[in-house]
Amino acid sequence: MGIDFAGVQFKNRVTLASGTCGFGRELAELFDLSLLGGICAKGLTLNPRIGNPPPRIAETPLGMLNSVGLQNPGVDAFIREELPFLRQFDTNIIANFSGSSPEEFAEIAAKLAGAGIDMLEVNISCPNVKAEGMLFGTSPDAAAEVTAAVKRVAGSVPVMVKLTPNVTDIVQIALACKDAGADALSLINTLLGMRFDLKSGKPILANGTGGLSGPAIFPVALRMVYQVANSVNIPILGLGGISSANDAREMLIAGAKLIGVGTAMFRDPLIAVKIIEELGKNEH
C-alpha cells in the first residue's frame, strides 16, 4: 500500500537523509535501493564545491559533529552523471539543494524540476550572502522568500522545505514556509555544536563549529516535529537521530508522515532496510 506525501506516492515511509547516503552508489552495492521509500540525495549547489578543510568529522557521545561544507559536484553534474544512476531504482529521488540568494535557489530548482526529479528538498540551513551570512532558515521572512522563489519555478514538482533546529521558535519558520507555498516540510537538520582538542586547546573541526546529528538529537527532533505537526497542516518528513524501528514509530506518533534515516546508516548501512521490514510487520 502506497503512502501519499504531498502528491507523491511512496511505497513505504522510510527515506535516507541528505548527505548520509551520497548519490546512492556505495549503498547500492550493499542492498537494493528500490526497497526504499525515497532517497534524499547529497545537498547540491549551483557550482561544484570542495567543501571545508579537514578534519570535518568529530565524535560525540551518542552522535557526531560534521562540517563537510556542502561538498558536491554541482547541480549540472548531478543531473548528467548521478541522476541517471539513481533512476535505475524504483524509488523516489528527492533532490536536496541550497543557494546563497533566493535567485540562486530558483535557478537550481528550475534545473532540477526540468530534469524530472520527484521532489525538491530546499535546505535553508545555509548563509544568505545579502544578510551578512545569517542563515535563511533562522528568519521567517528569508525562509518565505526562498520558498516562494523555488515554488515559482518548480511547476508540478512538490517543494519540501528542510528546517534548521537552530532557532528559538521553529513553528514560526514552518508557518512562514507554508504560507509561501511549501508543499511539505522536513525537520530537523543538524544542531550547531563544537568540540575542543585538550592538547592544543583548539577546536577539533577545522571549521570550528559543526552540525550535531545522531541519537543525541532524537528528543529534540521529536519535540520539533510534534510542535510543527500541531500547528502547520502540510505533511512532515521527520528525521534526526532515528536508529531503530521503534524510533521511527515514535517519530510517526509525533506527527511525521515519512521518516528519514541519516547518521545511523554510518553504523549499520542496512538499518533503513531493517526499519522498513519491522514497520511492514505492523501494517498487516
Ligand X SMILES: Cc1cc2nc3c(=O)[nH]c(=O)nc-3n(C[C@H](O)[C@H](O)[C@H](O)COP(=O)(O)O)c2cc1C
Beta bridge mates, 192: 211
Number of residues that bind ligand X (CB under 6 A): 25
Known catalytic residue: 177? Answer: no
State which of positions 118-137 bind ligand X (CB under 6 A): 123
Question: How would you label 47-68 residue by residue, b for 16+ Cβ within 10 Å and e otherwise?
Answer: eebeebeebbebebeebbbbbb
State which of positions 264-283 bind ligand X (CB under 6 A): 264
Confirm or reject binding of residue 15 to ligand X (CB under 6 A). no
Sign of the four-CA dihedral 203, 222, 264, 108:
negative
> CB–CB of 70/98 below 8 Å?
yes
Confirm or reject binding of residue 263 to ligand X (CB under 6 A). yes
C-alpha cell at position 164 = 534548521
Residue nearer to ligand X on the CB measure, 256 or 261: 261
To the nearest whole angstrom, how small is the minimum distance from the Cβ of residue 264 to ligand X?
6
Residue 269 identity: P
State which of positions 38-77 bind ligand X (CB under 6 A): 42-43, 66, 68, 70
Name the active-site residue from 21, 40, 126, 177. Answer: 126
Query: DSSP 3-state helix, strand, coil percentages of the chain (rounded to 5)?
Result: 35, 20, 40
To the nearest whole angstrom, how small is the minimum distance from the Cβ of residue 4 to ligand X?
23
Residue nearer to ligand X on the CB measure, 52 or 96: 96
Closest by CA to 119, choosing from 177, 162, 158, is 158
Active-site residue list? 126
Summarize as ranges the residues that interact with ligand X (CB under 6 A): 17-20, 42-43, 66, 68, 70, 96, 123, 162, 189-190, 213-214, 217, 239-242, 261-264
